[in-house]
Amino acid sequence: MGIRIENISYLYTSSFTPDRLALSDVTFNVAPNEILAVIGPPGSGKTTLIQHFNGLLKPTHGKIYVDSFDLTCSKTDMYQIRKKVGLVFQFPEIQLFEETVFDDIAFGPRNLGFSSDQVEERVKQAMQTVGLGFEQFGKRSPFHLSGGEKRRAAIAGVLAIEPQILILDEPTVGLDRVGTDLIEKVIIQYHHQGKMVILVSHDIDLVARLAPRIIIMEAGKIIYDGSREALFGENRSLLSGAGFDLPEIPKFMEKIKEKGYSLKTDLYTVKEAKKELRKCLFSKQEG
């Protein structure tokens, strides 16, 4: 199940402020089994863009297709679309509203008409995926959870629907290293199931680890759509122009290379960097 965006524009209108063009002639496709990261400075149109993917917003101009469904067509069943496209908002914990964690996560599957046994199974699986033990957290009030636990409960509520497309808007904002690592594992696990993930994030290190393809937005337009290797290499000026620095791992590897070592710098995880450093040091000792 892919997404196709054709020349969409979106104009915010208000009786109290001047009209603002949030998206301008945006066009791109996303393949079914792809992790795509969308980055850019605040106000660049990232959140506006992803809210079009499940019909929360309708473009002022242009077309959006999820699979073969035209989201701009009035006859398209948006209920079916939202079963397929799960959107986790920035600070999703503000969406929690039920009396228990179980009921909050069960809200989506219940509204899709699943039996009570099926709902319970989906809730248990989703809670396990985000690291919330069913016995420990199921009957607790979501309002008594920590900030990180609320974030995970909100994400579990989307995972319980089992969408084919998972969209996350700044999922790690405010989380510590442990919480960030857990969200990263959730994304990887979801992708390994053959599903699409679209990630909006200011965490360039997270983006580098997860997304082979990156889009940069600026003033409602796409100014880069390509591989992370090209972005962190020959197109690095676009990265800095958007307010981002080079990710820590390739930055560290470049500093080592400047000292006369021959090694790869287009690496994005600690594991990859350790392997390359061992290889480099072993070769130097052999020489």
CATH 3.40.50.300 maps onto the chain at 3-245
Q: How much is the pLDDT for 286? A: 52
Residue pLDDT, tens place only, 224-275:
999 999 999 999 999 988 999 999 999 999 998 888 888 888 999 999 999 9
Alpha-carbon dihedral sign for residues 170, 175, 179, 181? positive
Mean pLDDT of 134-156: 88
Mean pLDDT of 182-200: 92
Residue pLDDT, tens place only, 6-32:
999 999 987 777 888 999 999 999 999
Q: How much is the pLDDT for 152? A: 87
Q: How much is the pLDDT for 98? A: 84
Mean pLDDT of 74-78: 88
SS3 content of the chain, % helix, strand, coil (to 5): 45, 20, 35
Amino acid identity for residue 128 in this structure: Q
Mean predicted lDDT score pLDDT of the chain: 90
- 232 touches 246 (CB < 8 A): yes
What percent of the chain is modeled with pLDDT above 90?
Answer: 61
- 20 touches 43 (CB < 8 A): no
Mean pLDDT of 91-110: 84
Q: How much is the pLDDT for 28? A: 97
Rounded to whole angstroms, the Cα distance separating 214 from 39 reads 7
Q: How much is the pLDDT for 220? A: 96
Mean pLDDT of 84-106: 84
User: ∠ CA 216-217-223 to the nearest 5 degrees?
Assistant: 70
Amino acid identity for residue 74 in this structure: S
Q: How much is the pLDDT for 204? A: 95
The total number of residues shown for the chain amounts to: 287
What percent of the chain is modeled with pLDDT above 70?
Answer: 97
Q: How much is the pLDDT for 227? A: 96
Mean pLDDT of 181-193: 90
More confident residue, 93 or 89: 89
Q: How much is the pLDDT for 225? A: 97
Residue pLDDT, tens place only, 18-75:
888 999 999 999 999 999 999 999 999 999 999 999 899 999 999 999 988 999 998 9
Class in CATH terms, 3-245? alpha beta
